[in-house]
Amino acid sequence: MKTVKDYIRTIVDFPHEGILFRDVTTLFADPRGFRMAVDQMLHPYAGQRIDVVVGLEARGFILGGAIAHQLGTGFVPIRKKGKLPGRTISQEYKLEYGEAIVEIHEDALQAGQRVLIVDDLLATGGTAEAGIRLVERLGGVITGCAFIVDLPDLGGRKRLESLGMDVHALCAFEGL
C-alpha cells in the first residue's frame, strides 16, 4: 500500500545545484494520494474545535482549502507582500539568502478563533513562524501546524515547537 511519501517526487538540483526539491504536485495530481494527505493532515485534530484554516502561500492554499472544506470552516490565506487587496498587517522573516514579508488581511480573524496553520513543507520554519506571528497579532489561538513534508535537518520543527506549537507532518526526508 502506498504512503503519502510514495507520491512525492524528488527533483535533483532544483532550484539550485545541490538541492533535492521535494515536489508535492505529483501528490496533488493523484486523487488517492491527495485525499490520503488531506485525511491524514486532519486526523491529529479530530474532535478539536478549529474555526479557521490558514494556508501559507502558495501550496498551503491548495491544502488549506481542501482541509477547510472537510472541516466546514473558513479559509484565510497568508500571502507574499502586496498580493492581498485590502488593509493588511505584515511580518518580515529571514530566508536562506535575504528576507521576505508575508501579509494577512487585518480583519481576517476574530480574537479567540482557533486556527490550524497548513503548508506543504516545513524546512527552516521561517515562513511558518511569520504566519504564527500574524495569527497571534490578530488574536487567533493556534491549535496546530500541519505539513505534508518535514525536512528535519533544517530545524523547522524544533523552531516551531520552541514557540509552543503542536507540529504534525505526514513524512520526513532526511538529508539535504
3-state SS, 6-73, equals HHCEEEECCCCCCCEEEECHHHHHCHHHHHHHHHHHHHHHCCCCCCEEEEECCHHHHHHHHHHHHHCC
Question: Of 66, 67, 101, which is closest to residue 84 (Cα–Cα)?
Answer: 101
Number of domains in the chain: 1
Identify the CATH number of the domain in which residue 52 sits: 3.40.50.2020
In a domain, 69, yes or no: yes
The model's pTM: 0.96
**Residue 121 maps to a domain:** yes
Would 3 be classed as within a structural domain? no
Residue 80 resides in a domain:
yes
Active site residues: 59, 96
pLDDT for 109 equals: 98
Q: Let me know if residue 167 belongs to a domain.
A: yes
30-41 pLDDT per residue, tens: 999 999 999 999
